Structures are given as C-alpha cells and as structure tokens.
Amino acid sequence: MTMASSSRSRTLDPANLDPLQRWLARAVEADRVEITRADLLSGGAVQENWRIDASIHGGSRAGQNALVLRTDAIARLPMSLDRPREFACIKAAHSAGVLVAEPIAECADKTVIGAPFTVQRLLSGTAQGRRITRDPKLGEFGPALAREIGAQLARIHTIRPPHEALAFLTRPEPDAVAAAVAEMRGALDKATEPRPALECVLSWLLAHKPAPRPVSLVHGDFRTGNYLVDGGRLTGILDWEFCHWGDPREDLGWFCARCWRFGNDALAAGGIATRADLLDGYNSVSDAPIAESELAFWEILGAARWAAIALLQGQRFLTGGERSLELALTGLMPAEMEFDALEAITALEAGRPIA
Amino acid sequence: MTARRIDADALLDLATEMLRADVLPALPPEQRYAGAMIANALEVARRALAEEVEAAEWTLLDSLYEEGEGSTAQLARDIRSGTLPEGKARGLADDLRTLLIAELRVRNPRFLASRGISG
C-alpha cells in the first residue's frame, strides 16, 4: 500500500480498516465490504481526502468500487461549511443534475475512523490549475470545456431558496453586494495592516452595485482548480464548502477574475477559454441569461474578496500564532488583487473593456 | 581602502541560488512545494532589504496630509468614510497604483512583469 507522506495528523488508520469495512457494508446495504486500498490524496488544506478501493459483496453496488472518503480537517476556514452541511449541498447539486461525485453515504459517528466523514464515488481526472491551463491541447478542448462548465454552473443556480434540505444556510441577504463589502471591511478591521487600495475598491463596489438578481445557491469557490478534467472533458465540480445563498453572478465573476487564470491571462474564463464561451454554456441552460457586460463588476468583487481572504490568512501568521510559511506568503498577496481591481476600475471608468 | 563585508544581500542571494540549483531538484516530490516556498520567502526578504516601500508610502501620504501627519491607517479610514477632500480624491487611484507597484517590486516582481510593468 502506498502512503503519501504528510506532516499533518490523519484520522483513518490504514492498518485498522475493520470498523470502516463494517460501517460501509451497512451503509450500502451489502453483505460484506473489503477495502483493498486506502491512500491519502494530495491537496486539501481544509479537508482530508482518502482514496478507498472497496470490493463490495452483495447489494446494488456489488463489485469493485473506487471511492473518496473525506473528513473535516483540523484547519477549517471560518467561512466554510462543516462536512455534513457541505454534503447536503453536494446532494442538492446531484439531485439538480450537476456533474458531481455521486454522494453515497455519510457517517457522524466519530468512533468509526476517529472523525465524521462522507463517502463519494471517485472521479477521474486532474484538478490542478497549472496542469489544465498548460495542457498543449487546451486550444482544442478549452472552449467546449468552458461551455460545459458554464452549463453546470447554471444548473447549480437553478437551486433556489426556500430549500428544505438546505435550511441551515444563512438567510439570503437582500443586498448581496452590501453584505459582501461589509464582510470584507470586517476583514480589514481585523487586520493589523491598513490596505487603502482595498478600501478604495470596496467604496467603488458600493457606489456601482448592479440591480440584484434572484437569489440562488452560489458555489462560493467556483474556479479553475476546483473542477476535474480528464482527457479535456469535465468530470466533476469539487469543493462545496463555501456554498451560500447569493447573487449567481458572484460565481461567474470569481471564475473569470484575473487572479484565477493560472498564467493564461488572455483566456478570461479561468485561463481555459473566453468569457463568451463560458456564458454560451451558462445561457444555454439558465432561465435567467447573463450578459458579458455584467461580469466586470463581479470580477472586481472577486479580486477584492480574494485580497480580503489573503489578508486574513496573513493575519493568522502575523497575530494568530500560526507559524506557517504558506500563510505568510499568502499574506503578501493582497497587493496583486488590489492592483488588478484598480486597473479594471480605471479601464471601466475610461470606457475600455477590462483585462 | 573601503571595507568590504559579506552582507545580508550576498548571503541571501547565494543561499537562494544553491537552494534552487542544488537542493530543490533533489527533494522528494512531496517536499518540493515547501522548498519552493522557502526559496520564494528568501527572495522576498532579499528584495525587502533593498527596496524602500516606505518612501513611496510617505510620498503619497505627504501629498494628501500635512507633511508627516498622515498614516496609511488614516488614509484607509478617510477612503472608507469618503472624507478625503474632492481635489485630493481625484488622483487617488493613480497614487495607490504607484504605491502597489512599489510593494509588488518586493513581494512579487514576476506579477508586475505579467502585468507589463518591468522590475
């Protein structure tokens, strides 16, 4: 059995899989389950992900099953949903026809592997932004991939409140932009480093907010790096822990924000295609079409949001006592997003398209 | 004769060069990200020794407030409350851009290059 090395403490013990095997057999209504592989997958500063190969005997899932087991990790971001809530969002998305790893079972009992966890079907492909945006065949598959991603996002946005299974999500704010700006100002107030440029961007956002759209489920971290691609095709949308009720354009703006293009700056839709490609797919599914001219505002809001998050990450190092070089380096990043946001605002004010 | 000493800049320069050329390629894959972060941090530190972000800050603050009276915290408050005098608020975006460029010369010159601004 191969084990990826990590300094993080783990929950699941590959040498003691019996409790998990017994629990899984009950959860999928099988006679018996034999786990033949349990590997800690890379990535996931927020959560722990294990690949589990299970031989299922009896029941509707009989046969070889490649699964992903996810736990809540120690370092959960304050904004993020816990595992059971994230799983409820994934189930709602799956029911709405969104391409997502099939949700199979969840376990709240800490005694099985040491922490609550969920089980989903394993999807093939890579989520690594750099690998996707540097694929030599991107020119061939990029536009179609972006259209598919747009279509999937529109399906996510068909989920609207009230929604019984998602009743735990905070009531939607009537003014999503004012709420987002208030939250970012809260981050600035917590920080020990004043950021006049970010203040400037936030004031601009408040002064230029568009008319609201009907509230929908917003993925909250919908970007390159959070979907899987296999052979140029989309296999699934990942990382649902930032789901909330909000303006659907927030997801589109985050996807296209200049900070999430992984070096492919000219391809505004996540470094893989044009905004038009993404919106083509989106508007082919959505009953509330969105125009390209609407995106600039939400891309600027996305840049500001990432700046505020990076600032708070830096504070965890600076004043929170977390001696992490990654947090310290992230804390240096707000200047980048502020720069892009100010450039975009200057372009808009001059009547030019944004980068 | 002028004294020549081995200074912080030379040490950080050589240490980073060795790290990148000799150590990083030999690291096992799961340690490479940590290695790259260390190299990155050393490079930021080296540039921070040479650059004067504070000078750019004071130039901006002295153009807005009585000389020596302003602070970035004050400027941040004034922007949020919209209390900068009209004449001074007009060129603010350009001034903040200049300040960010000074910051980014230390923090991430490659980012500036990607935005068409040379180091």
Amino acid at A240: W
CA angle A153, A344, A80 (to 5 degrees): 40
Q: What is the pLDDT of residue A46?
A: 55
- Domain span holding position B105: 53-114
Of the two residues A48 and B80, the one the predictor is more confident about is B80
Assess whether B79 and B101 both reside in one domain. yes
For a pLDDT cut of 70, what percent of chain A falls above it?
94
User: For residues A124 and A229, is the Cβ–Cβ distance under 8 A?
Assistant: no
Smallest Cβ distance to B38: which of A196, A325, A332?
A: A325
Amino acid at A211: A
- pLDDT tens-digit map of A53-104: 999 999 999 999 999 998 876 655 667 888 889 999 999 999 999 999 999 9
| Within-domain flag for B82 | yes
Query: For chain B, how many structural domains are there in total?
Result: 2
Domain boundaries, chain A: 18-121, 129-349
Check CB contact under 8 Å for A203 and B79.
Answer: yes
Query: Is the confidence at residue A1, as pLDDT, over 70?
Result: no
For residues B77 and B44, membership in a common domain is answered with no
Band of pLDDT at residue A231, cut at 50, 70 and 90:
very high
Asked if residue B60 belongs to a domain, the reply is yes
We find that the CATH architecture of domain A18-121 is 2-Layer Sandwich (3.30)
Chain B residue with minimal CA distance to A3? B30
Classify residue B58: in a domain, yes or no.
yes
| Residues B57, B42 share a domain | no
CA of B10 vs chain A CAs: smallest distance (Å): 22
Same-domain pairing of B59 and B102: yes
- How confident is the model at residue A2, as a pLDDT? 37
**pLDDT for the residue A83:** 84
B62 assigned to some structural domain:
yes
Tell me, yes or no, whether B80 and B98 share the same domain. Answer: yes
Q: Please tell me if the domain spanning A18-121 has the same topology as the one spanning A129-349.
A: no
* Span of A7-16, A175-184, A188-197, B40-49 with lowest mean pLDDT: A7-16
Q: Which residues of B touch A335 (CB under 8 A)?
A: 100, 103-104, 107-108
Compute the Cα dihedral for B26, B32, B38, B41 and give only its sign.
Answer: positive
Chain A environment of B32 (Cβ under 8 Å)? none
Q: Does B93 contact A346 at a Cβ distance shorter than 8 Å?
A: yes
Q: Which residues of B touch A (CB under 8 A)?
A: 28, 30, 34, 37-38, 40-41, 44, 71-73, 75-76, 79-80, 82, 92-93, 96-97, 99-101, 103-104, 107-108, 111, 114-115
Query: How far, in Å, CA of A226 to CA of A241, rounded?
Result: 11
Q: What is the pLDDT of residue A4?
A: 39
Read off the tokens for A201. 């961007």
pLDDT digits (tens, 9 = 90+) for A9-26: 567 888 889 999 999 999
* Topology classification of domain A129-349: Aminoglycoside 3'-phosphotransferase; Chain: A, domain 2 (3.90.1200)
- Assess whether B59 and B46 both reside in one domain: no
Nearest to A50 by CA among A92, A86, A6: A6
Instruction: Write the DSSP assignment of B21-78 as a string of letters.
Output: IIIGGGS-HHHHHHHHHHHHHHHHHHHHHH--HHHHHHHHHHHHSSTTT--HHHHHHH
The H or E element that residue A189 is part of is helix A176-190
Q: What is the DSSP letter of A21?
A: H
Residue B119 lies in a domain: no
The pLDDT of residue A5 is above 50? no
Cα of A316 to nearest chain B Cα, Å: 17
Whether A3 has a pLDDT exceeding 60, the answer reads no
Beta bridge partners of A230: A233
Q: Which helix (H) or strand (E) holds A55?
A: strand A47-57
**Same domain (yes/no): B30, B61:** no
- What pLDDT does A227 receive? 98
Residue B35 shares a structural domain with residue B65? no
